[in-house]
Amino acid sequence: MTRHRIHRTGILLLGLAVACCVASACSQRKVHVRMRDDGGLPQRTYSDSDLSSGDMDLLSETYGHAPERDEERGGVRFHATFGEELPNELDGANGWSRMSGLLGETTFWYEAPADTRNAWPRLVKRVESGILWLRILKRWAQNRYRDEATRTLVDTVFEEEFIPGIIDGYLRWVGAGAILEAQRVGLRIRQDDDLGAVTDDEMFRLQVILPILISLATDGPLDSSELHSAFLLGMDGSASRSERDRVWKTIGQPAVLRFLQRFEPDRTDITLEEIRSWGLSILLYSANTGNYKDLMLESPAISEDEKKSIRGGGIVLPPAPFGVKFIGRATPVEATLELEPSHESFMNNGISVPEDERDEPPSGAVAELLRFRMNISPEEEGPLFGSPPAYALWSTPQQALQTRIFGEVALEGLELALVIVWENLLSETDEEAWRLAVEQAAREGSPTPLAGFLEGRAQDAPIALQKLVGSPPDRS
């Protein structure tokens, strides 16, 4: 096996990068947004642990008061009630839309804290950076062997199987990650001390990831029985260390060994310790960019200015593989958004916070508290499409009016929202007729006038309303 001389300049750069990473990890900006449906208007409280003086002046003007000290979280906070146009402290986009009808109103709120455009050039760069690192890995692997036949085989396997397979897997992973992040499930791994049963979110995650695992069985090193075992073990929400060891011995080790035996037919074993030693060896090899200068000059992941610097003798480090930085990562902004709708949300991608875990109780007797957590990273890091938006939809019934007509609050949630949007699409003539029908129904304390209005119009009305007033569904 070839011994590699450590390039001192490369090691120095790595050391500086690690130092910068450690230094940046010491201070993480934290922001907290609390939204409440205040009679249909958004009441907003914004807290920031590290707000610049310029932003502080701007927010003072926006919120209409000087910053207040946030004793609970540190930093400063602002609070005010707004119209439908919200302040945009997170440099993305947000919105609050309220749609009114005679029987209630429905509200839609969203907060997209990062610009998600221009994903294509970022995807191209991440893929090309991944290919560059895989070819660096290929060269490292070739240097482990002296005979030319094995070195040629390594090249063939990497170029025809390994690299295309990894790129396909990465694209599948990006798609799965976008789905999971949009639902605020993410790709998070459990802590060792979390021994609870599999949650609904974790089951959803497994359902999204299973197609990727199947692709490993068809394009990669796992056979169907190993895939079966891996998936069933993934459904154990409280996998112990001994179970994880068995996964390595029964699934991981045989798969890795089969791959290595293509180049080393006489090999009979592989250990985790040996694999870990490869990690250090690859790190030291990549620190000396002279080992793969030609690969960088050929790679689209390296800009023309960087290639010019390389040709002139400058040192340019390759970009992070697939955009995943292991050292020198920027510390993301830790954002927590909380929403207190007037009534229970019928659609959202947040987490409903139990009463005993709330920092402060909800304002209303029936209100819930939804929480959305996200890390906002620079666009060159983090999820390809940026931090996914937080959103929620809920409806607020006109309780007194509905009770007079139906004897109870009969329309709420999604059913009420569908009635409201239907009302808003009525023609001016039908809108006036609907208003008169509702007023008459309220006076009589009966939904009969509503049924009369729907005669001849039932094909356009929501099914929930038709059933409620006794009008037979008509979808002809």
Among candidate residues 392, 413, 394, 393, the one with its CA nearest the CA of residue 402: 413
pLDDT digits (tens, 9 = 90+) for 147-160: 999 999 999 999 99
163 and 278 housed in the same domain: yes
In terms of Cβ atoms closer than 10 Å to its own Cβ (0-12, 13-18, 19+), residue 183 is middle
312 and 428 housed in the same domain: no
Mean pLDDT of 182-198: 62
pLDDT digits (tens, 9 = 90+) for 349-362: 888 888 777 776 66
Domain count, the chain: 2
pLDDT at 119: 83
Mean pLDDT of 302-326: 91
Strand partners, 31: 48, 335
403 and 278 housed in the same domain: no
pLDDT at 233: 65
Residue 264, domain member (yes or no)? yes
Of 46-50, 139-143, 313-317, 322-326, minimum mean pLDDT range = 322-326
In the structure encoding, which two tokens stand for residue 309, read together? 């610097």
418 and 319 housed in the same domain: no
CA distance 296 to 212: 30
Of 62-71, 168-177, 199-208, minimum mean pLDDT range = 199-208
pLDDT at 133: 96
SS3 286: helix
pLDDT at residue 473 greater than cutoff 60:
no
312 and 405 housed in the same domain: no
pLDDT at residue 373 greater than cutoff 50:
yes
pLDDT at 397: 96
SS3 219: helix
> Which among 308, 323, 338 is the end of a domain?
323
For the chain, give the percent of residues with pLDDT over 90: 51
pTM across the whole model: 0.76
> Which among 291, 323, 355 is the end of a domain?
323
Higher-confidence residue: 202 or 134?
134
277 and 167 housed in the same domain: yes
State how far Cα 246 lies from the chain centre. Answer: 31
Report helix angle 119-142 to 163-182, nearest 10: 140
pLDDT digits (tens, 9 = 90+) for 29-65: 899 999 999 889 999 999 999 988 889 999 999 999 9
189 and 288 housed in the same domain: yes
Domain that holds residue 424: 399-469
pLDDT at 383: 78
Helix (H) or strand (E) holding 164, with range, is: helix 163-182
141 and 279 housed in the same domain: yes
Residue 195, domain member (yes or no)? yes
Q: Cβ contacts of residue 336 below 8 Å, gap of 6+?
A: 30, 31, 32, 33, 371, 372, 373
CA distance 394 to 417: 8
Average confidence score pLDDT of the chain:
83
pLDDT at 24: 40
* Residue 17 vs residues 20, 281, 327: alpha-carbon distances, Å: 5, 18, 6
Question: Which value, in Å, is the radius of gyration of the alpha carbons in the chain?
Answer: 29
CA distance 101 to 95: 20
Per-residue pLDDT band for 25 (boundaries 50, 70, 90) equals very low
Half-sphere exposure of 227 (CA within 13 A, CB side): 17
Helix (H) or strand (E) holding 76, with range, is: strand 76-81
Residue 183, domain member (yes or no)? yes
Per-residue pLDDT band for 407 (boundaries 50, 70, 90) equals very high
Residue 100, domain member (yes or no)? no
Mean pLDDT of 387-414: 94
> Apex CA 378: angle with CA 372 and CA 381, to 5°?
95
> Which among 300, 323, 346 is the end of a domain?
323
Among candidate residues 201, 196, 205, the one with its CA nearest the CA of residue 237: 196
193 and 291 housed in the same domain: yes
pLDDT digits (tens, 9 = 90+) for 228-272: 777 776 665 555 566 667 777 878 888 889 889 999 999 999 998
pLDDT digits (tens, 9 = 90+) for 410-462: 999 999 999 999 999 999 999 999 999 999 999 999 999 999 999 877 678 89
Say if residues 181 and 388 touch (Cβ distance below 8 Å).
yes
pLDDT at 303: 94
Of 22-26, 336-340, 411-415, minimum mean pLDDT range = 22-26
The DSSP string of 296-311 is: HHH-TTS-HHHHHHHH
pLDDT digits (tens, 9 = 90+) for 202-219: 777 777 878 877 776 666
CA distance 370 to 390: 10
pLDDT at 5: 32
Higher-confidence residue: 329 or 364?
329
Residue 106, domain member (yes or no)? no
Neighbours of 121 (CB within 10 A): 8
pLDDT at residue 321 greater than cutoff 80:
yes
